[in-house]
Chain A
Amino acid sequence: MLKRRIIPKFLLRDGRLVKYRQFFDDERMAGNPVSTAKVYNDYGADEFIVLDIVPSEESKQQVRDIVKQMSEEIFMPFTVGGGVTSLDDINALLRAGADKVSVNSHAVRDPKFVAAAAQQFGDQCITVSIDYKEIAPGVPRVFIDGGREKTSHNPVDWALKMQESNCGEILITSIDRDGMMTGYDADMIAALDEKLDVPLVVSGGCGGLQHCIEAFGAGASAVAISSLFLFTDHSPIKLRSHLSSNGINVRASKTSRN
């Protein structure tokens, strides 16, 4: 049967890896994206995600170059996003070597964009990334522009709408939990899993191995992880063996070719 996935997620700013708390606080630099991707390929991560968080015309070209270098060094699927506003942007990233392109703000601004992208490039290439934040207890809302702009959308309704637009996957990120390492939003995961037919990648809050078990228990297809791997001594290998011994169906740890 299909294995649950472990996906390191990296944020890029001006071509360098960065990490924050709750999207804006406490910027920390975390290294070179290509060599980091290679490390996670060697660790046997299942995929990875790279998002350009402060996109500009200049960073777009930078990201394409990084994607091209990554695709030469690693042989696992990866998703790239940040600042995708046209079919040409998607085409350029796919041609550079990305397997999937994630669309976030532009999906909100142009409601026909995701359907058009899925039609042209295939459903499986198009991931819709959704960032949300609680604006009052129990009232989550979708935010765009890297968490800067609030929308009126409820994340579950928005995810369903994006599924109807034929996206291949949903990446859901809790802004409140980002970088806090206090655990995933299991209630949100369960609410999405109940409604969605497309795979669900969950992000925001992972700080321990147990958090991944909770996320999978709530219905996640894949866990996206950054802080846990960047700032603790946990690796995908350790996580994989922990998940496996807790009855979660993951790939066996890879055996080294060298």
Chain B
Amino acid sequence: MTSVAIIDYGRGNVRSVYNAFDYIGVDAVITDDATEIDNASHILLPGVGAFGDAVDALHARGLPEILHRNVIEKGKPFFGICVGMQVLAATGFEHGEHAGLGWLDAEVRRLEPGPDCLKIPHMGWNQVDLASEHPLFQGFSPETLVFYFVHSYAVTTPDTDKILGTCDYGAKFVCTLAWDNIVTTQFHPEKSQDSGIELLENFVSWKA
């Protein structure tokens, strides 16, 4: 039985992710409770707040250990969104230097949109260019690979095998990662209308 644990670390708007699963018709629970997370088949880490603050909030609730047990040890399908993608990196540089969860050899750095002086935050709908195929993006075409972004920082990693797709904002940045049972997006599927709903549907039918 598919059920999604949406990890609650007490920051901002996680309701919209829940509403999206409710719309799809999948059982979901917003929780920081170890038993509820252990009982879920899929785990989603939503993205809210700044990097250091998010990592601190996860630690304050003992969530890194619970996530490690379920995702790394048990291999449950895991989806990290926005800051929920970024915190998997080893180090983040938003408002100072902070250690992340370190699941990925990566850093989170401020976007550098280049000579065009593009505006920061990168806010709005942008095209995703996939580097390879993945069940998460099954059934998508270039026309539907357009998602809602709102962020000023992005992941950089030397581990290029894990880069599933990039996005162009003056310069290319990594906007989706995938390895083993883990997928992440810098954009917000829960705010990306039909394309986002389809992505979340693909996630819950993914058995990793």
Q: Which residues of B contact A3 (CB under 8 A)?
A: 124-126, 146
Closest partner residue, chain A, to B22 (CB atom):
A72
Residue A136 CB within 8 A of the other chain? no
B161 / chain A contacts, CB cutoff of 8 Å: none
Q: B-side interface residues toward A, CB under 8 Å?
A: 12-13, 15-16, 19-20, 22-23, 48-50, 117-127, 143-144, 146, 148-152, 168-169, 188, 190-194, 196-197
Residues of B within 8 A of A71 (CB): 13, 15-16, 19
Distance from A11 Cβ to chain B, minimum over Cβ atoms (Å): 23
Cβ–Cβ contact A75 & B122, under 8 A: no
Give the chain A neighbours of B150 by CB distance below 8 A: 77, 99, 124, 168
Q: Which of B13, B146, B193 contacts A94 (CB 8 A)?
A: B13
Nearest residue in A to B116 (C-beta to C-beta)? A1
Are B193 and A76 neighbours in the complex by a CB distance under 8 Å?
yes
User: Is A97's CB under 8 angstroms from B13's CB?
Assistant: yes
Q: How far is the CB of B200 from chain A (nearest CB, A)?
A: 9
Residues A168 and B194 in contact in the complex (CB < 8 Å), given A3-B146, A95-B13: no
Q: Are A222 and B124 in contact (CB under 8 A)?
A: yes
A199 contacts B12, C-beta separation under 8 Å: no
A-side contacts of B143, CB under 8 Å? 252, 255
Q: How far is the CA of A95 from the CA of B15 in the complex (A)?
A: 8
Evaluate contact between B123 and A169: CB separation under 8 angstroms.
yes
The answer, among A75, A98, A199, for a CB contact under 8 Å with B20, is A75
- Which residues from chain A sit less than 8 Å from chain B, CB to CB? 1-5, 41, 44, 46, 71-72, 75-77, 94-99, 121-125, 168-169, 196-200, 221-222, 251-252, 254-255, 257
Q: Measured between alpha carbons, how far is A107 from B167 in the docked complex, in Å?
A: 34
Query: Contacts A97-B15, A199-B119 given; 12 further ones with Cβ under 8 A?
Result: A2-B125, A2-B126, A2-B149, A41-B193, A75-B20, A76-B191, A77-B188, A99-B13, A99-B150, A121-B12, A198-B120, A198-B121
6 contacts between A and B (CB under 8 A): A71-B19, A97-B19, A197-B117, A197-B120, A199-B121, A252-B143
Could you say which residues of chain A place their CB within 8 Å of the CB of B22? 72
A122/B191 in contact, CB under 8 A: no
Do residues B193 and A75 form an inter-chain contact, with CB atoms below 8 A?
yes
Q: Smallest CB–CB gap between B44 and chain A, Å?
A: 15
What chain A residues lie within 8 Å of B119 (beta carbons)? 196-200, 221
Asked if B23 and A1 make an inter-chain contact with CB atoms under 8 angstroms apart, the answer reads no
Residues of chain B within 8 A of A252, CB atoms compared: 143, 146
**Cβ–Cβ < 8 Å partners of B16 in chain A:** 71, 75, 97, 99
Closest Cβ neighbor of A91 among chain B residues: B12
Q: Is the CB of A75 within 8 A of B197?
A: yes
A121 — which chain B residues lie within 8 A by C-beta?
Answer: 12
* Chain A residues near B118 (CB-CB < 8 A): 2
User: Pick the contact of B124 from A2, A44, A122, A196 — CB < 8 Å?
Assistant: A2
Across the interface, name the chain B residue whose C-beta is closest to A200. B119
In whole angstroms, what is the CA distance A258 to B151 when docked? 32
